[in-house]
A and B are shown apart, each in its own frame.
Chain A
């Protein structure tokens, strides 16, 4: 192999299918993780806003702790420590759950800001109409709370996608690890790692555009 070439296109094409597969896999992890993070974030936000300190303090503690410690060690914890407590997860499950939990805490803060921004009068009007708490949240509060936080949530979706390479540390073969594996098999790192970077760039920009479109569609006239 010619070592002097900057970028071997033929080799790049040859490894493309494997990298594309890994990219699709990575996107899948991101989508599943983000769906979990949205649900978890909503629950954590509601708990943190709860009037009962028994609920709000632990939620606050979890959110602050998870947000200020590295995802990598959280994943190690899920994957290597939890089995001692009887919870054995596959690398993929631990990785998806870990990244979802990490981002759920970010989502919770965003959702909380959105909920706090809903004017008090809306709550009062809803309870004056004797709507049930469930109806108040579902039909009155959440629709108004979610619209303004879509851009922030979109940013976290992109951030989460860019954090998926951390999952490689617990042996999930996502895009980055696939690139590294190809590199160590062929002794050529330039093409796989550069291509992996390129994939991240393209997908991040694409998702950012998508989020911007969604934002425009959700904007009230």
Chain B
């Protein structure tokens, strides 16, 4: 059984790398789209709405296939490596879901906090990054954890666009060794452990974000 591990481990590292990069992209897109959707400019609101609905309404796999098979063809002529497609596709997809989470979290920050910041004559950017965003992030941790696990699970689909992630390696090993029960079981357990790692680190992050927050709400 030990001879299976090097390849599976290699795949696991690819899975982790893609998940982390896509998570960063998704977080940035979620924040951008959420603030754009709450903007006073109608054009920005429209763009954010179209992005969110388009990526939430079509399936992740369709998006990955579109980026992989359609984008390199004549009208677009944009050839991306499977790695880029994976990060871009997963990031765009989860970012659209994250935008709604982020918007809810931003709206849940009490109005008084913003008023207090205005009263202290903080600059708008300071107000947002110093007061509103930290509280919003603390509120968003729960749903964000679920989204990250969805992202991890979704990353298995990149094996279908020829990227050598954990699922791809598992498949490859099954094809050469025919020990499907063992290999797929190990792969499932690795994904489960990774998901628990996400749970744990988000829990630690939540504690870190809530440091200094009064336990009793006013």
Could you tell me which A residues sit within 8 Å of B by CB distance? 3-7, 65, 67-74, 76-77, 80-81, 84, 162-166, 168-169, 176, 179-180, 183, 188-190, 193-194, 196-198, 200-201, 204-205
Residues on A with beta carbons closer than 8 Å to the beta carbon of B174:
76, 80
Main secondary structure of the interface of B (DSSP, over half): helix
**By CB atoms of chain A within 10 A, which of B57, B59, B196 has the most?**
B59
Count the A-B residue pairs with Cβ separation under 8 angstroms: how many? 114
Q: Is the CB of B156 within 8 A of A194?
A: no
Q: Is the CB of A73 within 8 A of B160?
A: no
Residues on B with beta carbons closer than 8 Å to the beta carbon of A168:
61
Report the minimal beta-carbon distance from B108 to chain A, rounded to whole angstroms: 19
Report the 4 A-B pairs with minimum CB-CB distance, sorted nearest first: A68-B195, A70-B156, A165-B61, A162-B59
Choose, from B115-123, B125-133, B179-187, the stretch at the interface.
B179-187
Q: Is the CB of A193 within 8 A of B70?
A: yes
Measured in the bound complex, the distance between the Cα atoms of B62 and A176 in whole Å is 7
Report the minimal beta-carbon distance from B59 to chain A, rounded to whole angstroms: 4
Sampled A-B contacts (13; CB under 8 Å)? A68-B191, A70-B152, A71-B156, A73-B156, A76-B170, A76-B180, A77-B184, A81-B181, A176-B61, A176-B62, A194-B70, A196-B62, A204-B57
Measured in the bound complex, the distance between the Cα atoms of B187 and A77 in whole Å is 10
Q: Is the CB of A205 within 8 A of B75?
A: no
Report the minimal beta-carbon distance from B116 to chain A, rounded to whole angstroms: 35
Residues on B with beta carbons closer than 8 Å to the beta carbon of A77:
184-185, 188
Q: How large is the interface on B (under 10, 10 to 19, 20 to 34, 35 or more residues)?
A: 35 or more
Measured in the bound complex, the distance between the Cα atoms of B188 and A71 in whole Å is 10
Residues on B with beta carbons closer than 8 Å to the beta carbon of A188:
73
Q: Is the CB of A73 within 8 A of B170?
A: yes
Q: Is the CB of A183 within 8 A of B75?
A: no
**By CB atoms of chain A within 10 A, which of B65, B167, B196 has the most?**
B65
Q: When each residue 65-88 of chain B gets 1 if its CB lies under 8 Å from chain A and 0 otherwise, what string results?
A: 110011001110000000000000
Measured in the bound complex, the distance between the Cα atoms of B196 and A62 in whole Å is 15
Q: When each residue 45-67 of chain B gets 1 if its CB lies under 8 Å from chain A and 0 otherwise, what string results?
A: 00000000110111111110110
Measured in the bound complex, the distance between the Cα atoms of B56 and A164 in whole Å is 15
Q: Is the CB of B167 within 8 A of A80?
A: no
Q: Is the CB of B184 within 8 A of A80?
A: yes
Measured in the bound complex, the distance between the Cα atoms of B54 and A72 in whole Å is 23
Residue in chain A with minimal CB distance to B15:
A70
Report the minimal beta-carbon distance from A120 to chain B, rounded to whole angstroms: 25
Q: Is the CB of B63 within 8 A of A197?
A: yes
- B12 at interface (Cβ–Cβ under 8 A)? no
Residues on A with beta carbons closer than 8 Å to the beta carbon of B30:
none
Contact residues, B160-200 vs A (CB, 8 A): 160, 167, 170-171, 174, 180-181, 184-185, 187-188, 191-192, 195-196
Measured in the bound complex, the distance between the Cα atoms of B187 and A73 in whole Å is 8
Q: Is the CB of B195 within 8 A of A193?
A: no
Q: Is the CB of B70 within 8 A of A81?
A: no
Q: Is the CB of B191 within 8 A of A69?
A: yes
Q: Which of B63, B69, B157, B185 contacts A72 (CB 8 A)?
A: B157
- B135 at interface (Cβ–Cβ under 8 A)? no
Measured in the bound complex, the distance between the Cα atoms of B171 and A4 in whole Å is 38
Residues on A with beta carbons closer than 8 Å to the beta carbon of B156:
70-73
Q: Is the CB of A162 within 8 A of B58?
A: yes
Q: Is the CB of B153 within 8 A of A68?
A: yes
Report the minimal beta-carbon distance from A77 to chain B, rounded to whole angstroms: 5
Residues on A with beta carbons closer than 8 Å to the beta carbon of B62:
165, 176, 193, 196-197, 200
Residue in chain A with minimal CB distance to B184:
A77
Q: When each residue 195-210 of chain B gets 1 if its CB lies under 8 Å from chain A and 0 otherwise, what string results?
A: 1100000000000000
